[in-house]
Amino acid sequence: MTSRVAVLLLCLLLPAAARAAPNPSDFAFHQHPGDQVPTNVALRDATGRTVRLSEELAGRPAILVLGYLHCPNLCGLVRDDVFHALSQSGLRPDQYSLIVLSIDPAETSQDAATAKREDLARYPLPGANAAWHYLTGPGSSLHQIAEAVGFRYRYDPLLKQFLHPAGLVFLAPTGRISGYLLGVGYTPGDLALGVTRAGSGGIERAATPILLLCFHFDPTTGRYTLAITKVLQLAGLLTVLTVGTLIVLAFRGERRR
């Protein structure tokens, strides 16, 4: 686990004073390895064309990335981690489909096209344009897919943000759930193994739960954010407590001698 993942995991520590904060455990991934994802629901691709998930799978294993394109928190980091790992995984874009699915029914095909264009500019992998699919759709279609993979989310109209977990879902070419990668900090080997297993129809057991949410409440500002400063404060406090404990133990040992 990288230090960045450790820092992000610490961001889940919600202040006790944040009474308005939701219960994070209500929004963890509920993993359903082996279940079938509905592949015939109507979605829209980045050109505005109505498509089915089965078309985007195109007989290949898939990496499903759920989030939303105007996310102010983790969604961009999740995609960047996926692209970085893919670029070093040895996988060719013709070996998999990458499906970035927005959970926000208000996002449009133009939003998807903009996100795809920007991501391809940062990670210009040969063949990625044909293999990376950025999809939007009506709320009913999005809910069906999210429910099938156990991705629970909620929109806060006051803060204009979605509360949702972070992670990836591997799909077999038929749309069957092959496995999960939770949190962030994916390695090239993680993605290569997940795609290879999904391509052969293998089903991985449920991953170790990691509760990393794309939402955080800061009572001092009244907003949900990734409270990195609090993580640093907590790390500093833990360091002080550890050093203090070692000093006390050493002093007591000296007195006994």
What is the pLDDT at residue 214? 60
Residue 5, both tokens: 């993942």
Render pLDDT for 158-198 as a digit per residue (tens, 0 to 9). 878 898 899 999 999 999 999 999 888 899 999 999 999 99
Where residue 82 falls among pLDDT bands split at 50, 70, 90? very high
What is the pLDDT at residue 249? 60
Is residue 247 pLDDT above 60, yes or no? yes
Helix (H) or strand (E) holding 227: none
More confident residue, 224 or 24: 24
Average pLDDT, the chain: 81
SS3 250: helix
Place of tokens 């897919």: 145
Beta-sheet pairing, 177-182 with 167-171: antiparallel
Q: How far is CA 237 from the centre of its chain?
A: 29
Is residue 92 pLDDT above 50, yes or no? yes
Residue 137, both tokens: 């759709």
Is residue 65 pLDDT above 60, yes or no? yes
Of the candidates 15, 181, 13, 206, the one whose C-alpha atom is nearest the C-alpha of residue 89 is 181
Taking the C-alpha atoms of residue 20 and residue 194, their distance in angstroms, rounded to an integer, is 38
What is the pLDDT at residue 238? 53
**Contact (Cβ atoms closer than 8 angstroms) between residue 212 and residue 166:** yes
Where residue 215 falls among pLDDT bands split at 50, 70, 90? low
What pTM does this model have?
0.75
What percent of the chain is predicted at pLDDT more than 90? 59
Where residue 153 falls among pLDDT bands split at 50, 70, 90? very high
Interval 103-128 mean pLDDT = 96
Segments making up each domain of the chain, as ranges: 3-12+20-218, 227-256
Of the candidates 180, 174, 236, 217, the one whose C-alpha atom is nearest the C-alpha of residue 66 is 180
Cα angle 155, 75, 181 (rounded to 5 degrees) comes to 105
What is the pLDDT at residue 219? 41
Is residue 127 pLDDT above 90, yes or no? yes
Taking the C-alpha atoms of residue 55 and residue 204, their distance in angstroms, rounded to an integer, is 24
Which overall architecture, per CATH, does domain 3-12+20-218 show?
3-Layer(aba) Sandwich (3.40)
More confident residue, 206 or 243: 206
What is the dihedral sign for C-alpha 149, 154, 159, 165? negative
Taking the C-alpha atoms of residue 135 and residue 76, their distance in angstroms, rounded to an integer, is 15
Is residue 237 pLDDT above 60, yes or no? no
Render pLDDT for 2-51 as a digit per residue (tens, 0 to 9). 444 443 444 443 333 334 455 656 667 899 999 999 999 999 999 999 99
What is the pLDDT at residue 213? 58
Residue 201, both tokens: 């129809």
